[in-house]
Amino acid sequence: MRLLFLFLSINLIIGCKTSQIVPENYSAIKSINWQSGCIPESACAAEIMGNKKMILIKDEVSNQIYPQFVADSSKQIIKLTSRINADKMHLDQHYFEDIYIELPNKYYPIKATNIELLQYKVLLHKSCYCRGEAGYYAIQNGELNISDKSLSLSFIVPEANIRLNKIQVKLNTNR
């Protein structure tokens, strides 16, 4: 009887450990504020996509890449957008560039250059009425620096004429 009581007591102590449940949209980053780098005369925005990761898919016909976003509680995606003429009435006159960066939820500090940027799936999405240049580009030439308070990214994309090339944002974190 004592053995059964001891077994149940130990089982109760071990079994009562509280588990941490990660909220569906958890992100280590609470908010992002643009500091510099926004395209002149454009509207700039930032979005945090918590508990998501990017899977890069290559279209066999066009040889272009594009991201697919899937659930992953260990990752988060930062999306930085600069839009010119976002008027819905003039579809052919819009221009925007989005930057996507995939980060682990625990990521500080990060310093990546050139080919190392592929590890963080740093993407540029250019959308415009500009034949041959619209689409997604994996950024491989540049530098990414992230601390617990800021993110800076400078890059070039030789395949396309882009307007964004150096971004500085302030991060508000859960620390």
* Confidence (pTM): 0.80
Q: Which pLDDT score is estimated for 67?
A: 95
pLDDT tens string 20-32? 444 444 457 888 8
pLDDT digit string (tens) for 80-132? Answer: 999 886 566 666 667 889 999 999 987 678 999 999 999 999 999 999 888 88
Q: What is the mean pLDDT of the chain?
A: 82
pLDDT in tens, 19-77: 344 444 445 788 888 988 888 888 899 999 999 999 999 998 888 999 999 999 999 99
| pLDDT for 8 beyond 60 | no
Cis peptide before 109 (omega within 30 of 0): yes
Residues 131-153 have a mean pLDDT of: 92
Residue 11 phi, psi dihedral angles, 5° rounding: -60, -40
C-alpha span between 95 and 62 (Å, rounded): 22
